[in-house]
Amino acid sequence: MIRMKPVDIVIVGFGWTGAIMGIELADTGLKILALERGAYRDTSPDFVYPHNADELAYGIRGELFQPLARETVTVRHAVSDTAVPYRQYGSFLFGNNVGGAGIHWNGQHYRPSPEDLEIHSHISKRYGQKFMPDDMQIQDYGVAYDELEPYLEQFEYLCGTSGTAGNLNGEIKPGGNPFEGARKKPYPNPAVADTYGAKLFADAARAVGYHPFPQPSDNASRPYTNPHGVRLGPCNLCGYCERFGCFMYSKASPQTTILPVLMRKPNFELRTHSHVTKINLDSSGKRATGVTYIDAQGQQVEQPADLVIVSAFQMHNVRLMLLSGIGTPYDPNTGKGVIGKNYAYQMMSSIGVFFDKDVAINPFIGGGAGGVQIVDDFNADHFDHGPHGFVGGAYIYGGQTGGRPIQQLIVPPGTPSWGAGWKKAAKDNYLHATTVATHGSVMSYRDRYLDLDPTYKDAFGLPLLRITFDWHDNEYKMSQFVTERAQEIVKQMNPKATSLTLRKPGDHYDIRQYQTTHTTGGVIQGASPDSSALNRFQQSWDVSNVFVTGASAFPQNLGYNPTGLIGGLTYMSVKAIRETYLKQPGPLVQA
């Protein structure tokens, strides 16, 4: 075992939240070390045109994704089942290398609705405790929207988010989302122009009586210089966004917003090819002494540190906590324990919308987030759930992010999957089809959780993380209801044909189909060590010099894309570290 010189702060995983932690702590002058299992990556030379416009390499083979050959997860539907490995990419996509999933994401940048953060209190108050099924165990975040608002804004101004404000200091503004929480400042950039599919959707949604607005986008609509002095360029809607790096410096990522400044700080060091396998504890088990990692040569390295910030992807955070023995593992039989608790996902549906040949959709024109229109009338608690008997909701999305033909070509229902009929349908419909989709919440349940697999191992011989997950009735009901609203809009669009993907009771969670990479929970934040792993500042209740960032802190999943909330919670956490914790290390909230 190699023993390195101690550092003040070690950051495990160098994606969005690791980079935010690094830059926000750099001015303390403390020695900060970030450990990243992958390689260094930057716009040039790694994402340059034309090599980036390669659907097979990036979109299908997953050049930017974590190699599953070395480490994956296992999946089962129920506590009594035996899990098997997620051997090929499907349902969700792990990022890899510096920047993490912040490289290959779409840039859909949402804030939570205020009630999302206090969902248990809110639902209890408005509908009564009995409105929630017995096995649903949703919880409040321990942070209210008004308190988080400055941090949500800070992340938007870092990213140069392009959008139209809907609620500015309580005043509802035309063209924005009238259901959003009040924002103190408008978006830093105006919305990206609509693609044609989005325009048709928004016109129809208005005609039906809903409130469409441009999707808040971290594909910049114009040149932008962020508060660190880092510059982004305008998005050209290239159609190679999600699953790809951005060759235009338009998509916000750690590389395009933080790293040019952070990498020059003398007290900051990044070590790539450094795979952390354990957070080390002292003999009391109450204090972390640093981490152990495996370097590029395969050697075990011990890295002492006073403060450990766990900033890997949601699932990797949970696994590292379990491998390190921090906090009590969750037990679905008793409902006790916290690590692995409340794993959740998102519930999607999708409608293919096919027009005649006089409607030129040009589906290849697309940003990952920009150029799409959203209806938020049926998300969160934006409508009265009383008559419908479910908790949560979904936003409805109109338009497309690109028309990459291997993955994104759609054909009308009844088309054979191959042969002359498939080919003719592909030819006739490609230019004239768009998509309307719903993007919905999933609540947390007693029998949905994460733990270590008893059988399958990674390349180092360590147990894989095991997912126990399937849909519950609440989510089928939610998806059915919001999809019907989406169908009303689609009908108004007057297409010649539509197709529908809707998950109905009896349909099991299918890991073969890409749904979202928005996996959540497992190291959740909350009000009490009995029910959560972290306090409201994302500090471990059990080991106070360990903080855990990212969507692993979400007590249940919301209908929005998670990154905006992840960024806001990280900024709130790092401010507490900088201004309170570092002055007097110890618990920021007394248990």
Partner 1 sequence: MSSKQPSSPSRRDFLRQSLVAVPAVSLMGTAAIAQTQSGTAATPAVAAGPKYTPRYFTAPEWDFLEAAVDRLIPSNEDGPGAVEAGVPEFLDRQMEAAYGHGGLWYMQGPFVPDSPPTLGYQLRYTPRELYRKGIAAIDDWCQKQHNQKFAALPADQRDAILHQLEKGEIKLDDVPTAAFFSQLLTNTKEGYFADPMYGGNKQMGAWKMIGFPGARADFADWVEQPGKVYPFGPVSIEGAKS
Residue range at the interface with partner 1 (CB under 8 A); choices 186-194, 324-332, 340-348, 520-528:
186-194
Looking at the Cβ atoms of 11 and 347, the one nearer to partner 1 is 347
100 binds partner 1 (CB under 8 A): no
| Of the residues 28, 31, 40, 77, which one makes contact with partner 1 according to CB under 8 A | 77
Looking at the Cβ atoms of 7 and 490, the one nearer to partner 1 is 490
CB of 256 to partner 1, least distance (A): 17
Q: Please name which of 8, 17, 554, 7 lies closest in space to residue 312, comparing C-alpha atoms.
A: 17
Task: Tokens for 544, please give them.
Answer: 């106070």
In our burial notation (b when 16+ CB lie closer than 10 A, e otherwise), range 549-570 reads bbbbbbbbbbbbbbbbbbbbbb
**Active-site hit among 104, 275, 385, 518:** 518
336 binds partner 1 (CB under 8 A): no
CB of 545 to partner 1, least distance (A): 34
CB of 367 to partner 1, least distance (A): 9
> Edge-to-edge strands of the sheet including 463-468?
84-85, 73-76, 463-468, 449-457
- Show the CA angle centred on residue 167, arms to residues 161 and 173, nearest 5°: 95
Q: Please name which of 253, 247, 210 lies closest in space to residue 109, comparing C-alpha atoms.
A: 253
| Of the residues 362, 492, 499, 531, which one makes contact with partner 1 according to CB under 8 A | 362
Interaction mask 424-453, partner 1, x per CB under 8 A: x-xx--xx----------------------
Task: Tokens for 76, please give them.
Answer: 């089962």
The dihedral region occupied by 327, where left means phi > 0, alpha psi between -120 and 50, and beta the remainder, is: left
Which of the residues 109 through 168 are near partner 1 (CB under 8 A)? none
Residue range at the interface with partner 1 (CB under 8 A); choices 68-76, 274-282, 294-302, 547-555:
68-76
**Whole-angstrom Cα Rg for the chain:** 23
Distance in angstroms (rounded) separating the CA atoms of residues 526 and 532: 5
240 binds partner 1 (CB under 8 A): yes
Q: Please name which of 359, 361, 367, 353 lies closest in space to residue 410, comparing C-alpha atoms.
A: 353
401 binds partner 1 (CB under 8 A): no
3-state secondary structure 233-302: CCCCCECCCCCCCCCCCCECCHHHHCHHHHCCCCCEEEECCCEEEEEEECCCCCCEEEEEEECCCCCEEE
Element holding 482 (H helix, E strand):
helix 473-493
**Taking a C-beta distance cutoff of 8 angstroms, is the pair 281, 325 a contact?**
yes
Active-site annotation holds for 518: yes
| Of the residues 127, 131, 383, 456, which one makes contact with partner 1 according to CB under 8 A | 456
Which of the residues 502 through 541 are near partner 1 (CB under 8 A)? 508-512
Looking at the Cβ atoms of 253 and 545, the one nearer to partner 1 is 253
196 binds partner 1 (CB under 8 A): yes
21 burial class (0-12, 13-18, 19+ CB within 10 angstroms)?
Answer: buried
Q: Say which DSSP state 347 is in.
A: E
Long-range CB pairs of 294-297, under 8 A, 24+ apart, other chains included: 294/460, 295/2, 295/271, 296/272
| Of the residues 61, 125, 126, 336, which one makes contact with partner 1 according to CB under 8 A | 61
Distance in angstroms (rounded) separating the CA atoms of residues 390 and 392: 7
| Of the residues 457, 491, 496, 504, which one makes contact with partner 1 according to CB under 8 A | 457
CB of 18 to partner 1, least distance (A): 25
Residue range at the interface with partner 1 (CB under 8 A); choices 69-77, 117-125, 485-493, 525-533:
69-77
Place of tokens 């759609």: 410
CB of 503 to partner 1, least distance (A): 11
Residue range at the interface with partner 1 (CB under 8 A); choices 84-92, 375-383, 556-564, 579-587:
84-92
Interaction mask 403-422, partner 1, x per CB under 8 A: x-xx--x-------xxxx-x
Residue range at the interface with partner 1 (CB under 8 A); choices 62-70, 96-104, 287-295, 479-487:
62-70
CB of 512 to partner 1, least distance (A): 5
Interaction mask 35-54, partner 1, x per CB under 8 A: --------------xxxxxx
Which of the residues 369 through 388 are near partner 1 (CB under 8 A)? 371
Which of the residues 216 through 235 are near partner 1 (CB under 8 A)? 234-235
Chain-centre distance of CA 527, in angstroms?
Answer: 23
Looking at the Cβ atoms of 90 and 587, the one nearer to partner 1 is 90
Q: Kindly write down the DSSP assignment for every residue of 425-451, as one continuous string.
A: HHHHHGGGEEEEEEEE-B--BTT-EEE
| Of the residues 90, 186, 260, 304, which one makes contact with partner 1 according to CB under 8 A | 90
Distance in angstroms (rounded) separating the CA atoms of residues 460 and 304: 21
Query: Residues with catalytic annotation?
Result: 518
Which residues of this protein are in contact with partner 1, per CB under 8 A?
A: 49-56, 60-62, 67-69, 71-72, 75-77, 82, 84-88, 90, 192-196, 199, 234-240, 247, 359-360, 362, 364-365, 371, 403, 405-406, 409, 417-420, 422-424, 426-427, 430-431, 455-457, 508-512
